[in-house]
Amino acid sequence: MIKSLAVLGSTGSIGVQALEVARLHNLKIEALTAGSRVDIIENQIREFSPAVAALADEKAAADLKIRVADTSTKILSGAEGVKECASCGAESVLNSIVGIAGLAPTVAAIEAGSDIALANKETLVAGGKFVMGLAKEKGVNIYPVDSEHSAIFQSLQGCASKKQIKRLILTASGGPFFGKTKKDLEGVTLEQALNHPNWSMGAKITIDSATMMNKGLELIEAAWLFDMEAKDIDIVVHRQSVVHSLVEYVDNSVIAQLGVPDMRIPIQYALTYPDRFESPVRQLDLTEFATLTFEKPDYETFACINLCRRAIEKGGVYPAAVNAANEKANELFRQGKIRFLDIADAVANALEKAPHNDDYSLADVFETDRLIRTQTERLFI
Ligand code: NAD
Ligand code: MG
User: Looking at the CA of 198, which ligand is closest?
Assistant: 1
Pocket of ligand 1 (CB under 6 A): 9-15, 34-35, 37, 56, 82, 96-98, 101, 119-122, 146, 199, 201-202, 204-205, 263
Q: Which pLDDT tens digits describe the chain residue by residue (381 residues)?
A: 899 999 999 999 999 999 999 999 999 999 999 999 999 999 999 999 999 999 999 999 999 999 999 999 999 999 999 999 999 999 999 999 999 999 999 999 999 999 999 999 999 999 999 999 999 999 999 999 999 999 999 999 999 999 999 999 999 999 999 999 999 999 999 999 999 888 889 999 999 999 999 999 999 999 999 999 999 999 999 999 999 999 999 999 999 999 999 999 999 999 999 999 999 999 999 999 889 999 999 999 999 999 999 999 999 999 999 999 999 999 999 999 999 999 999 999 999 999 998 899 999 999 999 999 999 999 998
pLDDT score, position 197: 87
pLDDT score, position 198: 87
pLDDT score, position 269: 98
In ligand 1, the atom with minimum distance to the C-alpha of 82 is 20
Q: Is 282 exposed, middle or buried (0-12, 13-18, 19+ CB in 10 A)?
A: exposed
Which of 8, 10, 14, 260 gets mutated to test ligand 1 (max ligand atoms within 8 A of its CB)?
Answer: 14
What residue spans define the domains of the chain? Answer: 4-144
User: Looking at the CA of 201, which ligand is closest?
Assistant: 1
Which of 19, 77, 96 gets mutated to test ligand 1 (max ligand atoms within 8 A of its CB)?
Answer: 96
For domain 4-144, give its CATH number from 3.40.50.720, 3.30.465.10, 1.20.1050.10, 3.30.450.20. Answer: 3.40.50.720
pLDDT score, position 184: 97
In ligand 1, the atom with minimum distance to the C-alpha of 205 is 34
Query: For residue 20, what are the CA distances in angstroms to 13, 16, 71, 179, 263?
Result: 11, 6, 22, 36, 11
CA distance 101 to 99: 5
pLDDT score, position 20: 98
Please give the distance, rounded to the nearest whole angstrom, from the Cα atom of residue 209 to the centre of ligand 2: 9
pLDDT score, position 290: 85
User: Looking at the CA of 208, which ligand is closest?
Assistant: 1
